[in-house]
Structure 1
Amino acid sequence: MNWEQFFSMGGYGFYVWTSYGLMFVVLGINVFLAARRKSEVLKSIARRLKQEGKLS
């Protein structure tokens, strides 16, 4: 088997590789949004603790 056959996957390569690409894009967005939300929550908690005088 050569690389061309591997990537064409019997004529279904476009659909297969498009699916993999979309999956990685969605997973990447999910990781990015989760990290951003975590940062926002931690900042919010720090702000509340500072307002309550429990954080110096």
Structure 2
Amino acid sequence: MHFASFADFLAMGGYAFYVWLSFAITLASLVGIVMTTRLKRRQLLGELRRKEAREARRQAAQSMENTL
């Protein structure tokens, strides 16, 4: 499709509202997916660090118990 001017491009042949709305919804969805993925990753890594620290404390306590 060829447009005579930038204004015609923005108007999208009279369907600008639907076209730009679909672009906005798609962009918002993609941004939302990226943000939730990063948040979930951060939460999972924090949980993993806490579990590893807990296991290390448990093993240290168990080795102390064995020395008594």
* Pair in the same fold by TM > 0.5: yes
Question: How much has 1:25 moved relative to structure 2?
Answer: 0.5
Q: Deviations over 1:1-56 (max 9, x none)?
A: 111100111101110000000100111011000000000000000000000008xx
Q: Percent identity?
A: 28
Q: Which runs of 5+ in 2 are unaligned?
A: 58-68
TM-score, length-scaled by structure 1: 0.91
| Corresponding position of 2:53 | 50
Q: Is residue 21 from structure 1 mapped to residue 24 from structure 2 by the alignment?
A: yes
Give, in whole Å, the separation in 2 of the partners of 1:20 and 1:50: 45
Q: Which runs of 5+ in 1 are unaligned?
A: none
- Alignment coverage as a number of residue pairs: 54
**Structure possessing the higher radius of gyration over alpha carbons:** 2
Letter in 1 for 2:37: A
Segments ≥4 residues shifted beyond 3 Å: none
The structure, 1 or 2, with the larger RCO (C-alpha pairs under 8 Å, 6+ apart) is 1
